[in-house]
């Protein structure tokens, strides 16, 4: 399709800036739709009605997105608090278990010092064997 100089001059700003071209084209499409609606009279929804409905849908989608992000943040906080509580429970239980093991070891050393000394010497010998370089 050949363009005359006048057509080329009119289209040149839009060729250098595609966004301007798209805006102009969309405006022209809307104007054509209005004209078709006015001429035919058979369209049940006007462009303004459709635009208003699209705007409402955009706002609803935005509200849903923000509600989901708030829900996600609340759930994240809830899970973090639960994990912290569980970690504190495990830490307390492990401290209690370690304290009980220490008390049992001290009691064993007091009641059977010779056996405890023999076990300590045997463990020391084994550790020395495993860590000795050859």
pTM assigned to the model: 0.42
User: Count of CB atoms within 10 A of residue 103's CB?
Assistant: 10
Residues in the chain: 134
How many Å apart are CA 115 and CA 41, to the nearest integer?
106
Distance CA 91, CA 39 (A): 79
Work out the average pLDDT over 33-52: 65
Distance CA 27, CA 47 (A): 11
Instruction: Spell out the SS3 assignment of 2-59.
Output: CCCHHHHHHHHHHHHCHHHHHHHHHHHHHHHHHHHHHHHCCCCCCHHHHHHHHHHHHH
pLDDT of residue 8: 52
Tokens describing residue 50? 């459709």
What mean pLDDT is reported for the chain? 79
For the residues 112-119, what does the mean pLDDT come to?
91
Provide mean pLDDT across the span 16-38: 52
pLDDT at residue 112, as a whole number: 92
pLDDT on residue 42: 46
Give the residue, 27 or 101, on which the prediction is more confident: 101
For the record, the structure tokens of 54 come out as 């699209």
Which tens digits make up the pLDDT trace of 85-113?
999 999 999 999 999 999 999 999 999 99
Checking if the pLDDT of 30 tops 60, the result is no
């Amino acid at each position: 399709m050949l363009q005359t100089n006048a057509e080329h001059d009119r289209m040149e700003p839009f060729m250098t800036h595609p966004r301007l071209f798209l805006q102009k084209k969309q405006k022209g499409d809307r104007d054509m739709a209005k004209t078709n609606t006015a001429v035919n009279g058979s369209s049940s929804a006007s462009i303004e009605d459709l635009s208003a409905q699209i705007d409402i849908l955009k706002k609803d989608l935005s509200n849903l997105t923000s509600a989901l992000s708030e829900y996600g943040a609340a759930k994240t906080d809830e899970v973090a608090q639960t994990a912290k509580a569980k970690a504190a429970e495990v830490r307390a239980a492990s401290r209690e278990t370690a304290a009980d093991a220490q008390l049992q070891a001290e009691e064993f050393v007091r009641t059977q010092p010779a056996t405890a000394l023999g076990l300590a010497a045997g463990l020391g010998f084994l550790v020395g064997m495993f860590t000795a370089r050859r």
